[in-house]
Amino acid sequence: MSSERGSVELVNVTKRYGDVVAVDSLNLEIKSGEFLSLLGPSGCGKTTTLRMLAGFEQPDAGFVRISGEYVQGVPPYKRDVNTVFQHYALFPHMNVAENVAYGLRQKGVAKEEIGSKVIEALDMVQMSKMANRKPRQLSGGQQQRVAVARALVNRPSILLLDEPLGALDRKLREEMQIELKLLQSRLGITFVFVTHDQEEAMSMSDRIAIMLDGHVEQLGDPETVYERPSSAFVAGFVGRNNFWQGIATANGATATDGTVFVATRPEENVPSGEAALAAVRPECINLTQDKPESSANAVSAKVAGVSHFGDVLQYVVTVGTRDLLVQVGRTNPSRFAVGDSVWCSWLAEDVYLFSARQASLVLAAPTHA
């Protein structure tokens, strides 16, 4: 493991709260200067992992190293990390500059140095003109910028961000995603970002650690975890997917509703005859009026709903007793209305094939939810 400033290593880390195992033998390496997101549903262990990096919690087993140094028992204020929280945690009686300067004053930094560091930090987040305002005079996005400046003012090797954009509206959240990524790239500081929002993780991260039940289910760059999910859970959590239950065959699977799948790149090696899950992403399904030449990788359906999302048209089509989600580009010349009979088809290379071990996770909710 690298001892480079800003690197992180968690080895067999376990954290329990009574009988609940929040983090289970977690192994994770974070490279110096990268933007890594911990992504997963509520209760997966991502925030607990972040709190152990910050020093707010201690592992019950395993160890954590930051910049090559073991940090067991090291309190938060002695670690070369800072944390940005979802609800900003700004002092309401202090103005912006005083909030940013607070940590430096607590450390006894000289007054002249505090002034220059505060100006530099506020310049980073374009908040210099707001230095004398109180938090109540700022918008949510401006308050979040101040919180980031306060965390960066002493240039930590690692910035920990615990769902920092969760309280912002969608438009502002998207703007802040761009700002945070540009800031991280410019500073070269390691960012560890906790979120349950896959779009946030996909848009900002160099790598994403997708967590489930206290462990990392898959670690990779955004393109890899989207295009090559290692499990049915990842395929369903990152992006959207249509899933079918069935039985594996020599070259794919046959679903319980009779749909025949041919798969050229199964994600898991499922022996023929065993329970399996087949999946196809909405954007990989082709809609036509004419029946495809092959009976495999195709089903007949009826359009149940149409939604417009800017450059994408989203169809909900009914196949027997279930619905499928289909997405096509607005430039596609074909248009269908509710009630139209259509054929859905897809390529063999667009079929994901998994074992059925996580069927209860991915089939618990409608595929188009």
| Domains defined along the chain, listed by start | 8-227 (3.40.50.300), 232-362 (2.40.50.100)
Whole-number average pLDDT of the chain: 91
Give the pLDDT band (50/70/90) at residue 74.
very high
pLDDT in tens, 238-270: 999 999 999 999 999 999 999 999 998 778 889
- pLDDT score of 72 more than 80: yes
Backbone angles phi, psi at 192, to 5 degrees: -115, 115
pLDDT for 64 = 96
Comparison of pLDDT for 169 and 94, the residue scoring more: 94
> At residue 36, does pLDDT exceed 80?
yes
Average pLDDT (303-310) is 93
Contacts of 37 (CB under 8 A, 6+ apart): 192, 193, 194, 195, 200, 201, 204, 205, 207, 208, 209
Per-residue pLDDT at 174: 85
pTM for the structure as a whole: 0.89
pLDDT score of 77: 87
Residue 350 Cα distances to 53, 262, 263, 337, 357, angstroms: 38, 10, 8, 26, 21
pLDDT at 366 over 50: no
The stretch 117-142 carries a mean pLDDT of 89
Q: No. of H helices and E strands in the chain?
A: 9, 20
Percent of the chain with pLDDT over 70: 98
Residue 300: per-residue pLDDT: 95
